Amino acid sequence: MTHNDLLPGELFTRLRSACHEDWAAYTRHTFVRQIGTGELPQACFRHYLGQDYLFLIQFARAFALAAYKADTVPDMRHAMRGMTTVLDTETRVHISFCAGWGLSEPEMAALPEHPATMAYTRYVLERGMAGDLLDLHVALSPCILGYAEIGAWLAADPDTKRDGNPYLPWIEMYAGDEFREVAREEAAYIDDLMARRGGEGRFQDLVKTFRQATQLEIAFWDMGLHPPAG
């Protein structure tokens, strides 16, 4: 399965191609590979899960910003659906998943944000504040579209361990039809925004945003590999 089969979208395909080295470093990161083989230390995964909860809170803020930046009712509705999905669906699923790893919501909410968590989430908000909806969603897209690609790759990879892999539910969640549909909708939406707000003159700036966001996702995986002591 190619990424085009999974996530058809002209703009995403072009951005991914323009940033192929960074994209490969992100989607095939050591953290991701060790999830697939089941070799990732569980302390690393718990550290990642806690920071990912804080990450989701900031992503909800990004969709709230999208509603503010929108100048049409359909765009406002799209933004509010996104915020509702993050707060009422993704966060709820994440909390339930984390409970199986011994992490409660109050415990995660009390965690200090790691600099890598702050770096990417605040970058997304900055791009939304400084730019328009297209800038904001291109900054969001490595997370949404990247996780769908990672899930599909790990699910299809013959090196992925199925029996006894504690991370298999995580893989199945991001490889599943529900998350794949979220990613497809995002790929289609950035194409629509490009058609309405873009033009070739904007493409290189969008590449810069996509590359920087992808590099910040790499830093987030790096963070996961280094849990705090104790």
Domains of the chain, earliest start first = 21-224 (1.20.910.10)
CB-based burial label for 207 (10 Å; 0-12, 13-18, 19+):
middle
211-222: per-residue pLDDT in tens?
999 999 999 999
158-207: per-residue pLDDT in tens?
999 999 999 999 999 999 999 999 999 999 999 999 999 998 899 999 99
Residues annotated as catalytic are: 143, 217
120-172: per-residue pLDDT in tens?
999 999 999 999 999 999 999 999 999 999 999 999 999 999 999 999 999 99
Instruction: For residues 55-75, give the mean pLDDT.
Output: 97
- 108: which residues sit within 8 A by CB, 6+ positions away? 49, 50, 53, 54, 95, 98
Predicted local distance difference test score (pLDDT) of residue 212: 98
The DSSP line for the chain is: --HHHHS--HHHHHHHHHTHHHHHHHHT-HHHHHHHHT-S-HHHHHHHHHHHHHHHHHHHHHHHHHHHH--SHHHHHHHHHHHHIIIIIIHHHHHHHHHTTT--HHHHHTSPPPHHHHHHHHHHHHHHHHS-HHHHHHHHHHHHHHHHHHHHHHHH-TTS--TT-TTHHHHHHHHSHHHHHHHHHHHHHHHHHHHHH--HHHHHHHHHHHHHHHHHHHHHHHHHTSPPP-
